[in-house]
Amino acid sequence: MKTLKLLFFAFLVVSLSSCVVSKKKYEIAENGRLAALFSCDSLADVLEASRADYAALLGNYNNLTRERDNLKADTTQLRKGLRNYQSMLNANQSENANLAAQLLQRQKELNEHEETIKQLQRVINDQNARVKSLLDNVKSALTGFSSDELSVREEGGKVYVAMSDKLLFESGKAVVNEQGKNALGKLAGVLNKQTDIDIYIEGHTDSVPINTPVFKDNWDLSVIRATSVVRILTETYAVNPLQIQPCGRGEFRPVDTNTTSEGRARNRRTEIIIAPKLDKLYELISAQ
């Protein structure tokens, strides 16, 4: 009996010990389970946050991708525009180069024209100076004659010496008288000093018809009188015949009316036209 009590007591002790051990393990396991549950919840929260972050990042990525694509498109467009601008710039540079070359050529031509104009002006000034000097010399040589005997004027770059018929000829005749020879001699003194002039001798009459055994009409009279003056100048006073050209104008270039005796007297004249040669001027003009 005593032995049974001891065995029961021992069993009870072992049972209680097992209970105690099992409770501790339970508590440990429960704590582990709770920790696991807590960790699981935390992980779920982290996962959920990570998913949200991922979604946000994915959205940002998509936005950035679209922005990148837009930037690529803009860059492509800008490059295209840049190429167009570069092409336009190259074209403009080429056109500017052409324009610059044309401008340079035009400037060169303008300079040449200006130089030609200056040369022409120098020739014209020289010509005017020669005409003035010639006019002064002729006037000086022919002093002492009255205005109704001769007149001297400058017109159109030429010197005109108009000698009346009463100074040179008897009425209706074409032989130069002594007074006329004297006047022509004084004029020849000036002409012989000029080597670059042309001399034109023009005979003029009034409108009164003439018909004689010597002169058929006023044309004849004007021509013969002109050639008579030429012979005096060339044969008597040694004026170069290559410089002289006679011609008759008849009644067709009057300087006054033919209805009065005074007017007719003025129309009956011989004009000696002295024209400085314009060779240099013609050369400059022809070169253009």
Q: Residue 227 sits in a domain of what CATH number?
A: 3.30.1330.60
How much is the pTM?
0.64
Within-domain flag for 204:
yes
**What's the structural domain count of the chain?**
1
- Nearest to residue 165, comparing CAs of 213, 202, 200, 216? 202
Residues spanned by the domain of 178: 123-286
**In the chain, what is the straight-line distance between the N-terminal and C-terminal CA atoms, in Å?**
164
Residue 198: its H or E element: strand 197-204
pLDDT of 7 reads 55
How confident is the model over 63-113, as pLDDT tens digits? 767 878 887 888 788 788 878 878 887 888 888 899 899 999 999 888 987
Residue 236 has pLDDT above 70, yes or no: yes
Sign of the four-CA dihedral 126, 234, 149, 171: negative
Determine the 3-state secondary structure of 176 from DSSP.
coil
pLDDT of 28 reads 82
pLDDT of 1 reads 57
Within-domain flag for 269:
yes
How confident is the model over 145-200, as pLDDT tens digits? 998 999 999 999 999 999 999 999 988 899 999 999 999 999 999 999 988 899 99
Within-domain flag for 21:
no
pLDDT of 249 reads 96
Within-domain flag for 214:
yes
Strands of the sheet containing 197-204, edge to edge, are 150-155, 158-164, 269-276, 197-204, 244-250
